[in-house]
Homo-oligomer: A and B are copies of this chain.
Amino acid sequence: MNVQADDFFFSGLNIMGNTSNPVGSKVTPVTVAQLPGLNTLGISMVRIDYAPWGLNPPHTHPRATEILTVLEGSLQVGFVTSNPENRLISKVLQKGDVFVFPVGLVHFQRNVGYGNAVAIAALSSQNPGVITIANAVFGSNPPIAADLLAKAFQVKTSVVDQLQSKF
C-alpha cells in the first residue's frame, strides 16, 4: 500500500569495485539485503570487477542459478558437474557473451587479459547465498580439523596447515 519507488531502487552499479585484494576481484551485490523491494520476488543482480588476471574464485550459490554477461574484457569461466563425472565445462568469454552457471554447482571466472574486466550477473533468488570454497573449507571459524581435511584432500597435514594459514 505504502510502497515508494525507492523501495525498488538501488544506485551505484556503475561504480568500479575495489579489486585490491588477494584474488583481484570484487562483487557488488544487489540482493534483498541492499534492495528490500526484492523480497519474495526471486531475483537479484551483481556487478563483478576483475583486475588484470583477477579471479572470482571457485564458489557455489546454494539457492540460485546465475546468468552472466561480460561488459568489458575477456573472462575464462567454468563450472564443474556433480559426482561422479566432475566434468569441467569451460569457455573464454568476450564482451557481450553470456554464460549460465546452474544452481549449486562450483564455478569461477578469471580475467584473462591485461586490462580490467567487468561483468553483470543475475541470480534466481533474492537471497542466493555465496559459498567461497576456499573460505568455507580452509577458512571456517572455527577451522575444520586439519587431519580431517588432510584425509579429504589426500595430502599431509602440513599442506592443510599451509592452506588454512592463508584464511
Contact = CB atoms under 8 A, between A and B. Distances in A.
A83 B131 contact: yes
The secondary structure that dominates the A interface is mixed
Contacts of A93: 9
Interface in A111-167: 120, 122-124, 129-145, 148-149, 151-155, 159, 162-163, 166-167
A69 B103 CA distance: 23
Copies, count: 6
A9 B152 contact: no
A11 to B, nearest CB: 5
A123 B13 CA distance: 18
Interface in A25-73: 30, 35, 37-38, 41-45, 55, 57-58, 60-67, 69-71
A74 to B, nearest CB: 12
A22 B153 CA distance: 10
Most buried by B among A45, A66, A122, A143: A122
B41 A106 contact: no
Given A43-B67, A106-B136, 4 more contacts: A41-B124, A45-B122, A82-B131, A83-B131
